[in-house]
Amino acid sequence: MAEEMRIVLRNYGKIDPQKIDDYLAVGGYNSLNKARAMSNVDLINEIKASKLRGRGGAGFNCGMKLNFAYQAQADQKYVICNADEGEPGTYKDRIIMENDPHTVLEGMAICGYAIGATQGFIYCRGEYPSVAETLKQAIAQAKAKGVLGDFSIEVRLGAGAYVCGEESALIESIEGNRGEPRIRPPFPPVVGLWGKPTIVNNVETFANIPVILEKGSAWFAAIGAPSYPGTKVVTLTGDVNNKTFFEVPTDTTIKEVIFQFGGGIAAGKEFKAVQIGGTSGAFIPASQLDTQISFDAMVAIGAVLGSGAVFVLDASRDLVDVTARISKFFADESCGKCAPCREGTMRMHDLMNKINDGKGASADVALLGKLGRVMSYSCFCGLGQVAPAPVLSTIKHFSADYNAKLM
C-alpha cells in the first residue's frame, strides 16, 4: 500500500495558522536562521543537491533558477510567490497557505537571502480573499517578531485572468500592466520584475525549502521518483469517492492515487479517464494508470503533471462534451496577444461544439488534430501551447466518443 507523506503539509491541522508562536514552537524559522549562517553559494548548492523542481507546472530545477538570479548583477532583486492558482480543479496552494502561511514566507525569505533580494511579493488569486488576509496577518506577525530580518513581503491580488499565472504575465500584472506574457529570453531570473532579476516559484515549491534545509538535501533527494524527488500535493475531483487532497511521494502511481487514496470511482461505476494537471492536462486512459505522478513519467506518456489536479471521469461520461466545455475555457481565457492562440482557441471551440452537437464529420476531427498540433508549437506562451492537450488526447485515446457523434 502506498502511504501519504507530509512534507509541505507537515504542520497541517497541528498548528494554528493565525499564531506565529505555534509555528515557532515546531521549529519554524530555524531553517531561515540556518540558511543565513551559510554562504549564498553553499545555500544554493544545498537546494540544487536536493533536486527540488518546480511544483507549479514547468518542473524547472529550483537551485538552478536561484543560481541564475544570484549570478545576475543588480541593485535590487525580487522573489515572487506564484499563488495565482487559476487552474480549475486545483486548490493545493490554498490548503498550504491557509494552514501554514509561515512555511511559505520562510521559503521565500530563504530564497531571498540566497539570491540577495530584500523584497518579495505573493501574487495571490483574487478569488482567495481570506487567504490573502491570512498571509497579511502572518507577514505582520513575522515582521513584529523580526524573524524575516531585512526581507519584506507584500501580497498582491490577481484580477481573475488565468494567463496571469504564467510567470511573465504575472510580472506584468504586478507592474500594473495588462496581463500578457513577455517574450523570453531574457528569463525572469535575469530580467524580471521592473527589469530586475526575479525568481518566480510556486507556493508548494517554496513550502518544501524550509524542510530541505532542516533535514538535508540527501534526505529529500531520496524520496519518490529520482528525477523529480519529494512529494506532490494532489487534489482529487470528479467521479471519485474521496474528493479531497493528499500529499504523496512522486513515485506513487495514478492508480494508487485514484483507487487507494481516492477510494475508487463513485457510485460503484467503472473508470473511464483521468485528467491530470488541470484543464490543460491530457486525458489518460485505463491502460496508463500505472504511470507515476512524477514530472518525467507523465511527459513520457504525452501528459503533464502540472499543478497536480486529478479529475476523474466514470464510464458514463461523454469526453466530447467534457472537452467542448474545456475548449470554451481556453477561448475565454486567451489573452489575445498572439494570433495562433487568439484565433486557434476560438476555432477549436467552434469545431468541438460542431462535433458535440452532432453536426461534425470526420474531416472536422482531422482538422482539430491539425489545428492542435500547429497551436502547440506556434502559440506565444504556455496557455495556447497546452490548450490543445485535452482535444488531442481525447482524439487519440477516446476516438469512440467522437465517432459516436459524427454525421
Ligand X SMILES: Cc1cc2nc3c(=O)[nH]c(=O)nc-3n(C[C@H](O)[C@H](O)[C@H](O)COP(=O)(O)O)c2cc1C
Comparison of 162 and 402: residue with beta carbon closer to ligand X: 162
Residues 88-117 that bind ligand X (CB under 6 A): none
**Binding letters toward ligand X, positions 116-155, x by CB under 6 A:** ----------------------------------------
Other C-beta atoms closer than 10 Å to the C-beta of 97 total 28
Q: Could you tell me the CA-to-CA distances from 203 to 47, 336, 390 in Å, in that order?
A: 16, 27, 26
Total residues at interface with ligand X (CB under 6 A): 23
We find the least distance from the C-beta atom of residue 85 to ligand X, in angstroms, to be: 5
Q: Is 240 exposed, middle or buried (0-12, 13-18, 19+ CB in 10 A)?
A: buried
| Greatest distance between any 2 Cα atoms in the chain | 70
d(CA 163, CA 123): 13
Q: Which residues contact 116 (CB under 8 A, 6 or more apart)?
A: 40, 70, 77
Does 55 bind ligand X (CB under 6 A)? Our answer is: yes
Contacting ligand X (CB under 6 A), which of 17, 28, 54, 189?
Answer: 54
Kind and range of the H or E run holding 98: helix 92-99
d(CA 189, CA 65): 7
Contacting ligand X (CB under 6 A), which of 17, 28, 57, 388?
Answer: 57
We find the least distance from the C-beta atom of residue 106 to ligand X, in angstroms, to be: 16
Cβ(165)–Cβ(86) under 8 Å? Answer: yes
Which residue in 91, 179, 162 sits closest to 330, CA to CA?
162
Does 180 bind ligand X (CB under 6 A)? Our answer is: no
Q: Which residues contact 38 (CB under 8 A, 6 or more apart)?
A: 46
Does 60 bind ligand X (CB under 6 A)? Our answer is: yes
**Binding letters toward ligand X, positions 343-382, x by CB under 6 A:** --------------------------------------xx
Contacting ligand X (CB under 6 A), which of 11, 31, 67, 82?
Answer: 82
Does 165 bind ligand X (CB under 6 A)? Our answer is: yes
We find the least distance from the C-beta atom of residue 122 to ligand X, in angstroms, to be: 11
Does 173 bind ligand X (CB under 6 A)? Our answer is: no
d(CA 151, CA 29): 13
Does 308 bind ligand X (CB under 6 A)? Our answer is: no
Does 200 bind ligand X (CB under 6 A)? Our answer is: yes
- Positions touching ligand X (CB under 6 A) are 54-58, 60, 82, 84-87, 162-163, 165-167, 200-202, 205, 381-383
